[in-house]
Amino acid sequence: MTTTKEEMKSLVEKDRDNVWHHISAYNDKNPPMVVKSGEGAWITDHNGNRYLDAMSGLWCVNVGYGRDELAEVAYEQMKKIAYVPMTQSHEPAILLAEKLNEMLGDDYKIFYSNSGSDANEVAFKLARQYHQQNGEPSRYKFISRYRAYHGNSMGALAATGQAVRKFKYEPLAPGFLHIAPPDNYRRPAGQSVEEHNIQRAQEFEEKIIWEQKDTIAGIIMEPLITGGGILIPHPVYLEKVQEICNRHGVLLIIDEVICGFGRTGKAFGHQHFNLKPDIITMAKGLTSAYLPLSVTAIRKDIYEKFDTGEENSHFRHINTFGGNPAACAVALKNLEIIEKENLVEQSAELGKRLQKELASLKDHPYVGDIRGLGFLLGIELVENKETKMPASNARVAKIIGECKGNGLIIGRNGDTVAGYNNILTLSPPLSCTDEDLDFIISVIKKVFRENAA
């Protein structure tokens, strides 16, 4: 069905009159892109313009757009049974839980929700109740890191270390503490990357001691900070954090919402490191965003503490749409595609080539650092390479706008910490072809070449 220019004009006007867009400045004069279709790594807007979506939507369309098999499996499941509350069960939920344990290489109980925020809220509630029922009722606090994002609900936002995201919404849920992340680019002069990461990891232990260790329930972290600026730790960092958690009886919660399902070149980001998380949260690439679904995976020995036989000892949390049969069926098919097409391995290979081809940008006067893991890349822009002064909002926006003008959508770490929203981000579909990657590289090089002065 073809949409005429007049119909599209009417659609844009209706959008302006009725839709409040996410994380967007108030602006009635600059209408958003109205996306009509997608195929592979590409989307097409209402004017017929095509763009390579190098952000996979919001870090999530891992297998690319237009997958008929995902639409078909959802349709078939909806015809059988469209809804079952997870107070009961259904076959796709059971098979998906089994598959996730296979991918994790461990033994977890799987709790279903709708989004990454939901999954992290579940993790916080579970951890607090676990400690209550494990004889340590004083443990209620969580430690996370500045610059990290863990969700937009009141608990998940409290865990988030991005002040701009919280501004005007506080006070949030109590009991959330923060420490600095390992920022290898901005580490002190004369300090090695390994030394910097050991120091940052030790700050978790310092915080635990200063706060009285018997009050600390858990530490939550992404394997690498994604939306806060693509901050990638040295392996020693996460290993030290694991040791600290074990030593002090603190649960380690790993947020795999973005890093999971091949994004980093392994099935899960934490598998790059010597980690055994107590709780793992996941969403986004679980269904490649074709339907909403998230998971909180809980180690089975923690789950067993919810079987005390006492009143109110069960986990009293319910989610109307969590574990929807169609969403679980889509997730299973999505994971099948990832395996069949070797997209985890492809993510690693595409990422290596992307970093290699863009390494020359480090000589650009406004590029301070380039960092990535798997098919995930951050380019930190600065005004001065010597002082590492973050690039202005105008400079960052100009690069993004010119990439879009050349048919390439990239992102940034927007609305995080004032003055430090200067990192360009790329998170393309893992299904990108060699030609897609050539296009990404050529556009970025062209735009930076034209912005060298």
Q: Which residue has the higher pLDDT, 9 or 345?
A: 345
> Do 21 and 113 fall within a single domain?
no
Cis peptide before 171 (omega within 30 of 0): yes
Q: Where are the beta strands (DSSP E) in 89-210?
A: 108-113, 141-145, 176-179
**Sorting pLDDT into bands at 50, 70 and 90, what band is 2?**
low
From 305, 340, 375, give the residue that closes a domain. 340
DSSP letter for each residue of 56-76: HHHHT-TT-B--HHHHHHHHH
**Sorting pLDDT into bands at 50, 70 and 90, what band is 452?**
confident
- Cα–Cα distance measured from residue 346 to residue 98, given in angstroms and rounded to the nearest whole number: 24
CB atoms within 10 A of CB 212: 10
pLDDT (mean) for 225-245: 98
> Which pLDDT belongs to residue 284?
98
Q: CA neighbours within 13 Å on the CB side: how many for 58? A: 12
Instruction: Round the average pLDDT of the chain to a whole number and report it.
Output: 96
Domain ranges, residue 50: 5-63+342-449
> Do 41 and 84 fall within a single domain?
no
From 310, 340, 370, give the residue that closes a domain. 340
> Which pLDDT belongs to residue 3?
63
Any idea which of 301-310, 379-388, 424-433 has the lowest mean pLDDT?
301-310
> Do 264 and 383 fall within a single domain?
no
CATH number at residue 153: 3.40.640.10
- Cα–Cα distance measured from residue 31 to residue 52, given in angstroms and rounded to the nearest whole number: 20
> Do 125 and 274 fall within a single domain?
yes
Give the length of the chain: 453
> Do 36 and 115 fall within a single domain?
no
- Is residue 203 within 8 Å of residue 179, measured between CB atoms? yes
Q: What share of the chain in percent tops pLDDT 90? A: 91
Give the C-alpha distances (Å, rounded to integers) separating 224 from 145, 221, 235, 343, 378: 11, 8, 11, 20, 12
- Cα–Cα distance measured from residue 371 to residue 333, given in angstroms and rounded to the nearest whole number: 32
DSSP letter for each residue of 87-115: TS--HHHHHHHHHHHHHHTS-EEEEEESS
Q: Is the pLDDT of residue 301 over 80?
A: yes
255 - beta bridge partners? 281
Residue 359 is classified by DSSP as G
From 302, 325, 340, give the residue that closes a domain. 340
> Do 106 and 22 fall within a single domain?
no
> Do 374 and 420 fall within a single domain?
yes
**Over the stretch 173-203, which tens digit does the pLDDT of each residue have?**
999 999 999 999 999 999 999 999 999 999 9
CATH number at residue 417: 3.90.1150.10
Q: Is the pLDDT of residue 29 over 80?
A: no
Burial class from Cβ neighbours inside 10 Å (0-12, 13-18, 19+) for residue 385 reads middle
Closest CA to 208 of 166, 231, 234, 179: 179
User: Could you give the number of structural domains in the chain?
Assistant: 2
> Which pLDDT belongs to residue 32?
86
> Which pLDDT belongs to residue 332?
98
> Do 78 and 108 fall within a single domain?
yes
> Do 12 and 137 fall within a single domain?
no
> Do 97 and 114 fall within a single domain?
yes
Residue 162 structure tokens:
């991005």
